[in-house]
Amino acid sequence: MRRKLGFDPYLALIVAVAQMVIGRGASWGQREVREPLDLYAIGLLLVGPLAVLLSRRYPLLTTAAGLAACDLFLIGGYAYGPSFISPAVLLVLLVLRGRRLMAWVMAGMTLLSFLTYAWMVGNRDIFHSVWILTSIMLLMVVAELVRNVRERRAERERVAEEEARRQASEERLTMAQELHDVLAHNISLIHVQASTALHLIDANPEQARTALATIKTASKEVLGEMRSVLNVLREGAPRSPTAGLDHLDELIERSGQDVTVKRVGSRPLPSQVERAAYRIVQESLTNAARHAPGAAVNVRLEYGERELTVRVADTGSGAPGALSESGSGNGIPGMRERASALGGTLVAGPSGTGFQVEARLPLPEETS
């Protein structure tokens, strides 16, 4: 509220106390050469704090008033020292609040008024004039340095805030993609197995029971994975990948499909590459179950020195072209986005009577 109203009561109070205390001490120390403080002098000393109080709202008027009170205090023959505080504070405030041109103009007027007073009282020593000039210049330079430090700190905070917003946006996109992959795979699996169970429940109850068991497992798995993904929204939640290639066997087991996995080579993988590879395999199995139910699927992982190759191919349902990139789903575009985000490529299309997905994900050089 204080900032909104344009008041600076605490700073004004500090200036008032400082001027009164220093004024009492300076008046006693200069009692033989300067006039003692009276009500007029005290009133002039209070003009400066009042100007500081209102300086945010009326910067030019208050600075001029503070300077005028200082000059009148000196002309009145009162002690040197206390009246200088308010003009100095007002000039610094102008600089810090971005009114630099006004501040330097008022600093020039302050210098001119002090030099004029010195000449009026007969003090024409060049070194005294240089000392006044140096003091005012030093005050303004320090104010400019403080302003620069504050602006740089504000800029760093702004950049940090923008970076935090960008990272939060990327995390939201990642979570959305994770949720899409989890839901698409498991719901597709549930749909296929439910259709199988309904078809076989009378003719082959045992096989229907197996399909229902798969549905139970898949529904439990989707709840667990959704909980894992959504946990990143909680304070202090771990941000590790929700799935990796170490869970590939579990993925294949609960898919209910005829899947063969072959690994060529082995090496540690970055977490983002491992997660992308897992999701690509998962989405490919989802597409196979949806468009080529009952088809055999081959999964091949090749661990190269510079890239991981993920190849998923199914034998098809006997209807070539059942799945193409012109489909309405987000599966293939989503897989391609995952690969592109890592600097890799993904190619998907018909292969013989079936369909094949091949992704190449770059890997960092291995360190010994």
Query: Between 322 and 304, where is the model more confident?
Result: 304
Distances from the Cα of 313 to the Cαs of 221, 331, 344, 356, 358, in angstroms? 24, 15, 19, 4, 8
Which range has highest mean pLDDT (25-39, 146-160, 196-210, 323-337)? 146-160
Q: In whole angstroms, what is the distance from residue 96 CA to residue 131 CA?
A: 24
Burial class (CB in 10 A: 0-12, 13-18, 19+), 298: middle
For 343-362, write each residue's pLDDT tens digit. Answer: 999 999 888 888 999 999 99
Token pair for residue 337? 């986005």
| Contact yes or no for 84/46 (Cβ under 8 A) | no
Q: In whole angstroms, what is the distance from residue 230 CA to residue 271 CA?
A: 18
Q: In whole angstroms, what is the distance from residue 194 CA to residue 188 CA?
A: 10
Provide, rounded to the nearest whole percent, the portion of the chain with pLDDT above 70.
82
> Does residue 99 carry a pLDDT above 80?
yes
> Does residue 322 carry a pLDDT above 60?
no
For 29-70, write each residue's pLDDT tens digit. Answer: 888 888 888 899 899 989 989 999 988 889 999 999 999 998
Nearest partner of 6 among 62, 69, 70, 86, judged by Cα = 62
pLDDT confidence tier of residue 292, bands split at 50, 70 and 90: confident
Within 13 A of 65's CA, how many CA atoms are on the CB side?
18
Burial class (CB in 10 A: 0-12, 13-18, 19+), 296: middle
Q: What angle do CA 78, 82, 83 make, to 5 degrees?
A: 75
Q: In whole angstroms, what is the distance from residue 242 CA to residue 196 CA?
A: 29
Within 13 A of 12's CA, how many CA atoms are on the CB side?
18
pLDDT at position 268, please?
Answer: 86
pLDDT at position 240, please?
Answer: 45
Neighbours of 77 (CB within 10 A): 12
For 265-276, write each residue's pLDDT tens digit. Answer: 888 888 888 888
Name every residue whose Cβ is closer than 8 Å to that of residue 85 and which is 6 or more positions away in sequence.
Answer: 15, 18, 19, 22, 48
Neighbours of 316 (CB within 10 A): 21
pTM of the model: 0.51
Provide, rounded to the nearest whole percent, the portion of the chain with pLDDT above 90.
21
Q: What angle do CA 138, 139, 141 make, to 5 degrees?
A: 65
The torsion angles phi and psi of 33, rounded to 5 degrees, stand at -120, -15
Query: Between 177 and 126, where is the model more confident?
Result: 126
Nearest partner of 46 among 86, 80, 10, judged by Cα = 86
The end-to-end CA distance of the chain, in Å, is 61
Per the listing, tokens 């070539």 go with: 320
* Dihedral over alpha carbons 305, 345, 221, 249 (to 10 degrees): -40
Per the listing, tokens 């989890």 go with: 182
